[in-house]
Structure 1
Amino acid sequence: MTQLPVLQPGPSEVTGDHYLPARVDEVYWGRLPCEADSPVLTIESGETVTIDTLSHEGVLEDQGRDPVAFFAGHGIARDGVLDDAVALAASDHSRVVGVDGPHVVTGPIAVRGARPGDLLVMEVVELLPRVPYGVVSNRHGRGALPGEFPLQGEAFSVFASVVERADGRLAGSLPVAPASQKRAVFDLAPFLGVMGVAVAGDSRPHSVPPGAFGGNIDIKLLVEGAKLYLPVQVDGALAYVGDPHFAQGDGEVALTAMEASLRATVRFTVLREDEAIAQFGRLTGPMVETEEFLVPTGMDEDLDEAVKNCVRAAIDLLEARWGFDRSHALAYLSAATDFDISQVVDIVKGVHAKIRVADLDG
Structure 2
Amino acid sequence: MTTLPHDVTGFEVLQPGTYDGGTYLDSSPDNVFWGRLPCQDDTPRAVVESGAVVTVDTLSHEGILEDQGKDPVEFFGRYGVRAGDVLEDAKAVAASALAHDFADDGPHVVTGPIAVRGAKPGDLLAITVLELTPRVGYGMVSARHGFGALPGEMPVPGVTEPVTTFATAVPGAGAGTGEMLVDRDDPSRGRITFPLSPFLGVMGVATAGPERLHSVPPGPFGGNIDVNLLGVGSTLYLPVQVDDALAYFGDPHFAQGDGEVALTAFEASLRATVRLDLIPGGAAGVPAPYAETGDLLVPIGLDEDLDEAMRDCVRCALDLLAGRYGLERHLAMAYLSAAGDFAVSQVVDVVKGVHGKIRKADLREVRR
Shorter-chain TM band:
over 0.9
SS at match of 1:6: coil
Aligned residue number for residue 3 of structure 1: 10
**TM-score computed with the length of structure 2 as normaliser:** 0.93
Against the structure 1 CA distance between its residues 168 and 321, is the aligned structure 2 distance closer, same or farther, given a 3 Å change threshold?
Answer: closer
Pick aligned residue for 1:288 from 280, 286, 291: 291
Aligned residue number for residue 170 of structure 1: 176
Matches of 1:206 and 1:141, distance apart in 2? 18
**TM-score computed with the length of structure 1 as normaliser:** 0.95
Query: 1:161-204 CA deviation, whole Å, 9 max, x = no partner?
Result: 11245x58621001234524221100001100000000011111
% same residue: 60
- Is residue 249 of structure 2 the alignment partner of residue 241 of structure 1? yes
- Is residue 195 of structure 2 the alignment partner of residue 198 of structure 1? no
> Contact 2:16 / 2:28 at 8 angstroms: preserved in 1?
no
Aligned residue number for residue 333 of structure 1: 336
Query: 1:34-73 CA deviation, whole Å, 9 max, x = no partner?
Result: 1111111100111111101000000001111000000111
SS at match of 1:351: strand
Matches of 2:201 and 2:132, distance apart in 1? 12
Matches of 1:224 and 1:317, distance apart in 2? 22
Aligned residue number for residue 74 of structure 1: 79
Query: 1:15-36 CA deviation, whole Å, 9 max, x = no partner?
Result: 4x30101121331000001111
Aligned residue number for residue 316 of structure 1: 319
What amino acid does structure 2 have at the position aligned with 1:61? Answer: E
Aligned residue number for residue 118 of structure 2: 113
Q: Unmatched 5+ residue regions in structure 1?
A: none
Pick aligned residue for 1:93 from 73, 86, 98: 98
Aligned residue number for residue 146 of structure 2: 141
Moved over 6 A (4+): none
By how many angstroms is 1:305 displaced?
Answer: 0.7
Query: 1:208-250 CA deviation, whole Å, 9 max, x = no partner?
Result: 0000000000011111111100000000000000000000001
Matches of 1:289 and 1:316, distance apart in 2? 14
> Contact 1:141 / 1:154 at 8 angstroms: preserved in 2?
no
Aligned residue number for residue 57 of structure 2: 52
Query: 1:255-295 CA deviation, whole Å, 9 max, x = no partner?
Result: 0000000011111111111xx36xxx622221111000111
Equivalent runs, 1:162-311 vs 2, <5 Å? 162-164=169-171, 170-181=176-187, 182-273=190-281, 276=282, 282-311=285-314
By how many angstroms is 1:149 displaced?
Answer: 1.4
> Contact 1:27 / 1:107 at 8 angstroms: preserved in 2?
yes
> Contact 2:204 / 2:221 at 8 angstroms: preserved in 1?
yes
What amino acid does structure 2 have at the position aligned with 1:4? Answer: F
**Worse-matched range after superposition: 155-164 or 192-201:** 155-164
> Contact 2:25 / 2:31 at 8 angstroms: preserved in 1?
no
Matches of 1:5 and 1:177, distance apart in 2? 26
What amino acid does structure 1 have at the position aligned with 2:224? Answer: N
What amino acid does structure 2 have at the position aligned with 1:270? Answer: L
Matches of 1:190 and 1:226, distance apart in 2? 12
Matches of 1:29 and 1:83, distance apart in 2? 16
What amino acid does structure 2 have at the position aligned with 1:356? Answer: R
**Worse-matched range after superposition: 147-156 or 344-353:** 147-156
- Is residue 168 of structure 2 the alignment partner of residue 161 of structure 1? yes
Aligned residue number for residue 108 of structure 2: 103
**Worse-matched range after superposition: 146-155 or 196-205:** 146-155
SS at match of 1:25: helix
Matches of 2:251 and 2:124, distance apart in 1? 22
Query: 1:319-360 CA deviation, whole Å, 9 max, x = no partner?
Result: 222122211111100001100111110000000111111111
* Root mean square deviation of aligned Cα: 1.4
SS at match of 1:359: helix
